[in-house]
């Protein structure tokens, strides 16, 4: 197994997808396909494994080796209003881990934003009544305008939706469990709506006011102006680095496979006597070995996940 493994993404087509990802990742979209909504850049999940020279990651590693999943998401329309379950519920009901995630905004049109958490005073009964009356659920949610460099943590149990015209990187627990509670009354060309998961959503949405305070979402702005540790969960630690001048950093890791995702510029990663060059929007992983460290040299912005 190579000590540095560059990756190619798994492409996920979505009814709400935009045009950007097919261009920057050079992935053709057939006329009969939905647009490209997500690219799973670092994934060992069976539903969408990233590809290395040695094969799909899910055939080489398990979800203990790589318990996180890293995506790019590009939206031309709103995503569904949805929620992800906590580990306990997901394990009991879905035989899966839960899904906490976070977003790094890479671009957004003026006025674009995300829906995150319920507004004060919204309880489970109010929300259930709104669902049954086919009301617009977005009016019960907090809306945050976004711009490049914003960061949001979305803990499991948070009702949320990414709005239209947003391009972001998402780092999450390696789970594909999503409960849709409302889909903007959207239908496909055949008049069919996507499946909703109302009862499961109501089971796991956190309505308690303290949980929905902005401080719980660890919101930060202008993260590309500095080096930051953005988040630490049981399944991953996330670091953001940004430099306008040539730099070199050393990264050590020990718990699990580490990875890098380049957001801008170009870097060279070196481990032992092996080097790889990575450009904007490219990713690589570093398997566990006796010596678990690597260096990064270059200019630009990138994420380290370990």
Averaged pLDDT, 180-196: 86
Distance CA(141)–CA(124), nearest Å, equals 13
Answer whether residue 32 shows pLDDT above 90: no
Radius of gyration of the chain (CA): 19
In percent, the amount of the chain with pLDDT more than 90 equals 91
DSSP letter (8 states) at residue 8: B
Q: 113-118 and 68-74: which strand pairing?
A: unpaired
Q: What is the pLDDT of residues 98-136, one digit of tens each?
A: 999 999 999 999 999 999 999 999 999 999 999 999 899
Q: What size, in residues, is the chain?
A: 306
Determine the pLDDT at residue 149. Answer: 98
Positions annotated as catalytic residues are 180
Stated pTM of the model: 0.96
Residue from 267, 231, 222 nearest 249 by CA: 267
In percent, the amount of the chain with pLDDT more than 70 equals 100
Answer whether residue 39 shows pLDDT above 90: yes
Answer whether residue 189 shows pLDDT above 80: no
Determine the pLDDT at residue 283. Answer: 98
Distance CA(150)–CA(141), nearest Å, equals 19
Averaged pLDDT, 258-267: 97
Determine the pLDDT at residue 4. Answer: 98
Answer whether residue 281 shows pLDDT above 90: yes
Mean pLDDT value across the chain? 96
Distance CA(129)–CA(186), nearest Å, equals 20
| Structure token pair of residue 301 | 């912005």
Determine the pLDDT at residue 193. Answer: 83
Averaged pLDDT, 216-238: 97
Determine the pLDDT at residue 244. Answer: 87
Determine the pLDDT at residue 207. Answer: 98
Q: Which carries the bigger pLDDT value, residue 298 or residue 185?
A: 298
Distance CA(49)–CA(55), nearest Å, equals 9
């Amino acid at each position: 197994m190579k000590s540095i493994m560059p990756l190619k993404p798994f492409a996920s087509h979505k009814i709400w997808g935009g045009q950007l990802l097919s261009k920057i990742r050079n992935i053709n979209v057939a006329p009969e396909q939905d647009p490209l909504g997500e690219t799973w850049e670092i994934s060992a999940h069976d539903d969408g494994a990233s590809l290395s020279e040695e094969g799909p990651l899910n055939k080489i590693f398990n979800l203990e080796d790589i318990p996180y999943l890293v995506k790019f998401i590009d939206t031309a329309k709103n995503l569904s209003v949805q929620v992800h379950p906590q580990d306990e519920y997901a394990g009991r009901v879905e035989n899966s881990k839960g899904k906490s995630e976070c977003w790094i905004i890479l671009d957004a049109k003026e006025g674009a934003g995300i829906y995150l958490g319920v507004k004060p005073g919204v309880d489970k009964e109010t929300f259930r009544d709104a669902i049954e009356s086919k009301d617009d659920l977005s009016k019960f949610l907090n809306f945050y305008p976004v711009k490049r460099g914003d960061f949001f943590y979305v803990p499991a149990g948070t009702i949320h939706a990414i709005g239209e015209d947003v391009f972001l990187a998402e780092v999450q627990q390696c789970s594909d469990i999503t409960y849709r509670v409302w889909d903007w009354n959207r239908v496909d060309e055949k008049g069919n709506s996507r499946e909703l998961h109302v009862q499961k959503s109501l089971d796991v949405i956190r309505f308690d006011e303290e949980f929905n305070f902005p401080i719980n979402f660890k919101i930060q702005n202008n993260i590309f102006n500095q080096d930051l540790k953005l988040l630490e969960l049981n399944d991953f630690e996330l670091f953001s680095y940004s430099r306008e001048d040539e730099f070199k950093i050393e990264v050590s890791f020990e718990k699990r496979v580490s990875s890098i995702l380049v957001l801008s510029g170009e870097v060279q990663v070196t481990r032992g006597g092996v080097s790889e060059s990575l450009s904007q929007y490219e990713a690589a992983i570093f398997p566990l070995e006796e010596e678990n460290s690597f260096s990064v040299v270059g200019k630009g912005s990138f994420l380290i996940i370990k």
